[in-house]
């Protein structure tokens, strides 16, 4: 059997724009080459923060539930939403806790810090090492392809509409060259006081 990261397949990407961020994922769930579901979103919302999780599907479900619990506890104690930066550190320390028996996930965070108004994205490896990026973060079985498309299409200071087009094209064309990803996509465009969620059809093969 292959790597736990590539049994179920899936892809996720986050991008920074001008006063906005985007995060997008595909919808496929597979067992090796067999597609089991075409409605398995990998982006989860925690107040102001969006978390994308690719990798082993059972861990995607477990980790997303774990963070729902942790973020709810944070909100009860602090009486405010968790900021993207704090969420990043929470994800990092939670993953490192499992240093020698990790969750097989590659998380991506996107959000706008409501106190500073600044866009924020970051990515992690499966044991919590944070990758702070100014431009874009990719993860999943189509990460090579996403690196190519993002590096080729992304430019600084894109407005919300242009960022939507860029992130969508980057994701769709990347997953079309990966057999384990695709089957439609979810795209979130996050602005200071507006979030737009769009469903992309994409190729169904």
Partner 1 sequence: MASVFSGAPPQSGPGYSFKQTPTEAPSGTRQHGFYPYTDNGGSTLGISGADFTILAGDTRHTSGYNINTRYAPKLFKIGGEGPDNKGASIVLSVVGFAADGEALKERLDTIVKMYKYQHGKPMSVAACAQRLSHILYGKRFFPYYVHAILGGLDEEGRGALYSYDPVGSYEREQCRAAGAAASLIMPFLDNQVNFKNQYVPDSGSGHELQEKPRTPLDQNHVLELVRDAFTSAVERHIEVGDGLQVMIIKKEGIMEAFHPLKQD
Residues that bind partner 1 (CB under 8 A): 144-145, 147-149, 151-153, 169, 172-174, 176-177, 201-202
First to last CA, the chain: 23
Residue among 119, 117, 149 at smallest CA distance from 132: 119
CB contact burial 11-27 (16+ within 10 A = b; e otherwise)? bbbbbbbeebbbbbbbb
Within 8 A by CB and 6+ apart from 173, the residues are: 145, 149
* Cβ nearer to partner 1, comparing 59 with 178: 178
* Cβ nearer to partner 1, comparing 133 with 195: 133
* Cβ nearer to partner 1, comparing 50 with 136: 136
* Cβ nearer to partner 1, comparing 170 with 190: 170
* Cβ nearer to partner 1, comparing 8 with 181: 181
User: Taking the complex as a whole, how short is the minimal distance between the CB of residue 173 and partner 1, in angstroms?
Assistant: 4
Is the separation of the CB atoms in 51 and 108 below 8 Å? yes
User: Taking the complex as a whole, how short is the minimal distance between the CB of residue 150 and partner 1, in angstroms?
Assistant: 9
Instruction: Report the alpha-carbon distance of residue 91 to residue 110 in Å, rounded.
Output: 13
User: Taking the complex as a whole, how short is the minimal distance between the CB of residue 174 and partner 1, in angstroms?
Assistant: 5
Residue among 189, 184, 198 at smallest CA distance from 159: 189
* Cβ nearer to partner 1, comparing 44 with 136: 136
Residue with token string 């439609």: 184
User: Taking the complex as a whole, how short is the minimal distance between the CB of residue 103 and partner 1, in angstroms?
Assistant: 25
User: Taking the complex as a whole, how short is the minimal distance between the CB of residue 202 and partner 1, in angstroms?
Assistant: 8
User: Taking the complex as a whole, how short is the minimal distance between the CB of residue 134 and partner 1, in angstroms?
Assistant: 13
Is the separation of the CB atoms in 9 and 34 below 8 Å? no
Is the separation of the CB atoms in 180 and 190 below 8 Å? no
Instruction: Report the alpha-carbon distance of residue 138 to residue 11 in Å, rounded.
Output: 8
């Amino acid at each position: 059997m292959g790597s736990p990261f590539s049994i179920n397949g899936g892809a996720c990407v986050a991008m920074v724009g001008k006063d906005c961020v985007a995060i997008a994922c595909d919808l496929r769930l597979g067992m090796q080459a067999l597609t089991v579901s075409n409605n398995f979103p990998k982006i989860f919302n925690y107040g102001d923060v969006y978390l994308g999780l690719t990798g082993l599907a059972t861990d995607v479900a477990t980790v997303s539930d774990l963070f729902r619990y942790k973020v709810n506890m944070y909100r009860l104690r602090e009486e405010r939403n968790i900021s993207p930066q704090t969420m990043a550190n929470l994800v990092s320390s939670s993953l490192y806790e499992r240093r020698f028996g990790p969750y097989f996930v590659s998380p991506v965070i996107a959000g706008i810090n409501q106190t500073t108004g600044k866009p924020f994205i970051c990515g992690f490896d499966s044991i919590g090492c944070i990758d702070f990026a100014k431009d874009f973060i990719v993860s999943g079985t189509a990460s090579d392809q996403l690196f190519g498309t993002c590096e080729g299409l992304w430019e600084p200071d894109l407005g919300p509409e242009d960022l939507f087009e860029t992130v969508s094209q980057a994701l769709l064309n990347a997953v079309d060259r990966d057999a384990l990803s695709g089957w439609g996509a979810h795209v979130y465009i996050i602005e200071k006081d507006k979030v737009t969620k769009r469903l992309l059809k994409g190729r169904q093969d």
